Amino acid sequence: MDWQSLRRIVTENDAEGRSRILIDGEAAKLIAVEEAGLAEIWAADIDGGGLLDATDQLADKDLKLEPESGSVKVRWFTVAPDDKSKSKEELESAAAFAFGAVGASHCRVDTARHPMMHKTASLDVIILVKGEVDLLLDDDQRALKPGDVVIQRATNHAWVNKTNETALLVAVLIHTN
């Protein structure tokens, strides 16, 4: 995945109320291992009128899977093709490491169906931009194609890529507590 090719453009209003560009560049934060990873685009507080604040809140914060309480987060993320050469133990170890790296070990509530299963305290709007993935739930599964949108409502899930192409998705995460 060429993370530098992903561009974020953030607008603002100046003191006279005229619109202009605040940020035109790459992701605020990035964590990637081989073809899988996530890159932060924007975060803002929902409460207290901070939703339209022109401060890039991501610049000085560690990368975390979940948005902070009372906030919204926007990101790109990729799902690498399944690696059939890895054992169940290797896949579990890799998943544990990945979730630990983004402060989300506690989100792995039931990984019986797949090591990447997780549940966050957020309402997520997920848009598949490129590639194909399956949305895996405890008792269900759906194949997705580019343009499909998933409204993920704080349920245990995983994203599985059965193809040979890395999938690119965009997520808007809204903390629900």
**CATH number for the domain harbouring residue 139:** 2.60.120.10
The residues, ordered by sequence, that sit 6+ positions from 31 with a Cβ below 8 Å of its Cβ are 37, 38, 39, 63, 101, 102
pLDDT at position 108 = 97
* First-last CA distance in the chain: 33
Global confidence as pTM: 0.87
**Domain range for residue 177?**
1-177
Lowest mean pLDDT among 20-24, 44-48, 148-152, 163-167: 44-48
Domains contained in the chain, number: 1
The arithmetic mean of pLDDT across residues 77-104, rounded, is 93
Closest CA to 54 of 12, 9, 8: 12
Dist CA 53 CA 62 (whole Å): 20
Cα angle, residue 26 at apex, residues 131 and 176 outer, rounded to 5°: 70
Write down the H helix ranges in 29-164: 88-101
Average pLDDT over residues 7-36: 85
